[in-house]
Amino acid sequence: MSLLKSTTLNSEINHKESAVESKKIKNKRNILKHLYFEDKKSIAELSEALFISIPTLTAHLEELLEEKWLIGEEVDTKKQGRNPTIYSMNPEYKHTLVIDITTRSTKAVLLNFRNEIVSEKEYELGVTNDQSFRTQLLEVIDSTIENYTGTGREIVAVGLALPGLINKLTGQNKTYLGLNSENTSLSQVISAKWGIPVYVLNDSKATVFGESLFGVGRDQNHLLSINVDWGVGLAVVINGQIFNGASGFAGELGHIQVHPDGELCRCGKVGCLDTVASASALLRKVKRGLSCGEVSSLARFKDNLEQLTLEDVIEAASKGDGFAIDILYNIGIELGKGLSVAVHLFNPRLIVIDGVLSKAGNLIVNPVEFAINKHCLPDFKENLTIRVTEIGDSAKLLGMNAFVAKRLFKND
């Protein structure tokens, strides 16, 4: 055999081996993705769902068991013969590190692929544009991963849930530019150091994904999540998928102008929804009213306004305080006006109210509904439901974990 023929034959063999290995990797990812999103399954159920033959599937499952991705448990069916084995994600060894960053604090949360929290630690570290924040954040991440090393368990990916405009292609934060360094995103820095994939997602988008999979929106394919926190964030799920827009910026409802002669927003524009419908706006209005002598049970804070919390306002309103109720009502009306724009644009079946103001329950839902009924065309609100989150802060964490799983087990 000539050298040319020998080289050609070896190339063909290598190509076939590569194709076989590639198909195996694809099958294993499909198995993991299916078990993450669909929970426990028998080998027969997996074979039927994934169109993989039982002998091939058995070989893949044995490898995934050995790699500690899965566990298998025999189920007693009370029938003669061998009991079937049910396969599920192994909760002990493969974990995701979710970094939940807000304007007030940072959480480092380890989750397994059963969506259970393994550990959680909160730091008094709110996001800023200062490079020192980026340095401290990287120290938190490094410390968490280092402490995990040598435990016999593995962090297989990191998920960053961040406020601000995040470019879906580069991962760069266009709002908090201090998180980037010389055109390098934070995710690239972490991935390069630790050799693990890092996925970044806007916090509101992580929240809506969590609501759509595990919260009140789990039976809906078209929903909005309005994250009424210290700012106002909107995220959209269409046909079960997060709507990103061209660059990943879709959903910045907090920065549509609602009052042309209103207050200056932190973004530099005037009269944004953020200035009238966020938790920050609520506290600002309450403090202003108390300073002007409004009659309220909250007047006890008049000489110590900095001690007043959002929870104090919500508690006062729930006990019938007229001033607190009026403030919440006005916030809800403004929020509903802004949401009416989103309803006309996206025609959702469900709006979920998330964030710190969701704690107000119907005190915020009722005025939002009233405003939407007033400002939306009848056909748009006919099948529309507005609900408060049932899983609270977990929506963001679970949504981020699911986003990581979806990307990690993706087959291009």
Residues 210-240 have pLDDT tens digits of 999 999 999 899 999 999 988 899 999 999 9
Q: 0.85 cut: is pTM over it?
A: yes
Side by side, the strands of the sheet bearing 198-202 are 117-123, 106-112, 94-101, 154-162, 198-202
Starting at the edge strand found earlier in the chain, the sheet holding 232-238 runs 241-242, 232-238, 222-228, 350-354, 385-388
What confidence tier does 168 reach under pLDDT thresholds 50, 70, 90? confident
What does the pLDDT read at residue 180? Answer: 85
User: How many other C-beta atoms lie within 10 A of the C-beta of residue 294?
Assistant: 17
pLDDT per residue as tens digits for the range 331-351: 999 999 999 999 999 999 999
Question: 327, 294 in Cβ contact below 8 A?
Answer: no
* pLDDT above 50: residue 1: no
DSSP letter at 266 equals T
- Token couple for 168: 């879906």
Model confidence at 148, in pLDDT bands (50, 70, 90)? Answer: confident
Interval 18-28 mean pLDDT: 89
DSSP summary character for residue 272: B
Q: Which tens digit of pLDDT belongs to each residue from 359-405?
A: 999 999 999 999 999 999 999 998 899 999 999 999 999 999 999 99
Tokens of 165: 């405009």
Q: What is the tens place of the pLDDT at every residue in 271-319? A: 899 999 988 999 999 999 999 999 999 999 988 999 999 999 999 999 9
The predicted pLDDT at position 212 comes to 96
Q: What is the pLDDT of residues 243-252, one digit of tens each?
A: 999 999 998 8
pLDDT for res 149: 81
Q: Are 281 and 273 within 8 A, CB to CB?
A: no
φ/ψ of 274, rounded to 5, equals -50, -35
Task: Give the residue from 99, 88, 249 showing the smallest Cα distance to 174.
Answer: 249
Q: Which pLDDT score is estimated for 12?
A: 59
Determine which helix (DSSP H) or strand (DSSP E) holds 158, and give its type and residue range: strand 154-162
The dihedral of CA 109, 110, 112, 117: what is its sign? Answer: negative
Do the Cβ atoms of 61 and 70 come closer than 8 Å?
A: yes
Which amino acid makes up residue 189? Answer: V
Kind plus residue range of the DSSP H or E element containing 395: helix 394-408
Between 293 and 267, residue with greater pLDDT: 293
> Which residue shows structure tokens 């916090």?
203
CB contact burial 210-240 (16+ within 10 A = b; e otherwise): bbbbbbbbeebebbbbbbbbbbbbbbbbeee
Q: What is the mean pLDDT of residues 156-177?
A: 91
pLDDT at position 130: 87
Quick one: the chain helix, strand, coil %, rounded to 5?
A: 50, 20, 30
How many angstroms separate the Cα of 256 from the Cα of each of 234, 350, 372, 375, 395?
Answer: 11, 21, 16, 16, 25
Question: pLDDT (tens digit, 9 = 90+) per residue, 57-94?
Answer: 999 999 999 999 999 998 766 666 577 899 999 999 99
The strand pair at 385-388 and 350-354 is best described as parallel
Mean pLDDT of the chain: 90
Question: Is the separation of the CB atoms in 215 and 352 below 8 Å?
Answer: yes
183 or 3, higher pLDDT:
183
**109: which strand partners?**
98, 120
Q: In sequence order, what are the residues at sequence separation of 6 or more whose Cβ sits closer than 8 angstroms to the Cβ of residue 303? A: none
d(CA 120, CA 111): 9
User: Would you say the C-alpha torsion 170, 257, 395, 324 has a positive or negative sign?
Assistant: positive
**Which residues make beta-bridge pairs with 257?**
272
Quote the pLDDT of residue 78: 61
Q: What is the mean pLDDT of residues 111-118?
A: 96
- The pLDDT score that the predictor gives to residue 3 is 47
d(CA 165, CA 177): 10
Does the pLDDT at position 412 exceed 80? no
Q: Apex CA 155: angle with CA 227 and CA 192, to 5°?
A: 90
pLDDT for 181 beyond 90: no
Cα(100)–Cα(108) distance, integer angstroms: 7
Query: Are residues 101 and 162 in contact, defined by beta-carbon separation less than 8 angstroms?
Result: yes
Residue 215 has a pLDDT of 95
pLDDT band at 15 (very low <50, low <70, confident <90, very high): low
Q: What is the mean pLDDT of residues 33-41?
A: 93
